[in-house]
Structure 1
């Protein structure tokens, strides 16, 4: 059995645009991918609303992905693959980060995974970097995400460079899904389904 850790934010957790409720297990992208790939693939969901790559959010303690990531890898070992999909929350106005800055945070997470012994036989797991779906037209979070649309459009290019530098897989979610027009940030059911199908194909290719 292949074990895949899905480390992300609200779009891995399954946040429903508009209501804040959660998509059912089988309708979140890891569940969709798992259903396609079958029982030989075990998906572990580690999604948290508001999670960043490495930034401390003064209004939401515990959202910095870096301090938790190392223990998370150890807790779920052995892992065949780690899927990292973060960056949307790093685009918040309060952090004042460029797309390149955000990619540096992603690089720190990738480096931690690649230096770990959390893969089979005490080796590092494979890593798949996923650039999140591009932020769309914002509704009630205009001030919180001021300027985020432009930053988000640059994430794919910089995340691809990080993946190449660390010999990781890369996937651009915006190629297959869009954020919901309800809030411009989260994936609706159709978006979760599309992402799950695409990542199932990518994961199968990486793990064989």
Structure 2
């Protein structure tokens, strides 16, 4: 049976950043604990999982503090070409868009995430020069807690709407959808990152979603 490939495209929660007690914390969960690793174990030998998680990555914003390379849309075409052929791209971005510095009206979240979906669906990074399929994942709400609370001021209320906004965006684009907020929550330690248990639950949920697409 042919091995299929999925690229997990996301931010620090795809990277596996541990909940941070201070801004200086740089902990990262090991490969088997991160949700893409859990996904790989659940999918088995039929799938190869490519991890593409960058802390601070946004949907479409160059970060004036973190750097222009945090713009998820700008770097996505290069990553699609680098890892092709891809059968599927699982996109989970939008948490960092909730930072106060970006001042993004949450109603524009659909336009931002649909730009990423379009970049995948109009690419030739799939099998035989086609386009990969997309699984759009809405991140869970942030909590405005701990050392990241002030950075995400106003983000808790806005991010509660991402699940519904992304669901509608996925419907418009005709791609698969998973609301991570119905499966897990952000850690109360910093209000943004996932603990090990959440990674395990999310990895299993994504595996079930992908298995359903492949049937």
**Common topology (TM > 0.5):** yes
Match of 2:33 among 22, 27, 36: 27
After superposition, residues 1-208 of structure 1 pair within 5 angstroms as 1-18=3-20, 19-61=25-67, 62-208=69-215
Segments of structure 1 that go 5 or more residues without pairing to the other structure are none
Distance 1:189 1:20 in 2: 15
Report SS of the residue matched to 1:38.
helix
Q: TM-score, normalised by structure 1?
A: 0.97
Quick one: distance in 1 between partners of 2:106 and 2:137? 14
Runs ≥4 residues deviating over 6 A:
none
Counterparts of 1:80 and 1:2, CA distance in 2 = 6
**Could you state the TM-score of these two structures normalised by the residue count of structure 2?**
0.94
Report if aligned partners of 1:100, 1:155 keep a CA contact under 8 Å in 2: no
- Cα distance in 1 between the residues matched to 2:184 and 2:19: 14
The unaligned stretches of length 5 or more in structure 2 are none
SS of 1:206's partner is helix
| Offset, 1:137 | 4.4
Aligned length: 208
Contact kept? 2:143, 2:149, Cα under 8 Å: no
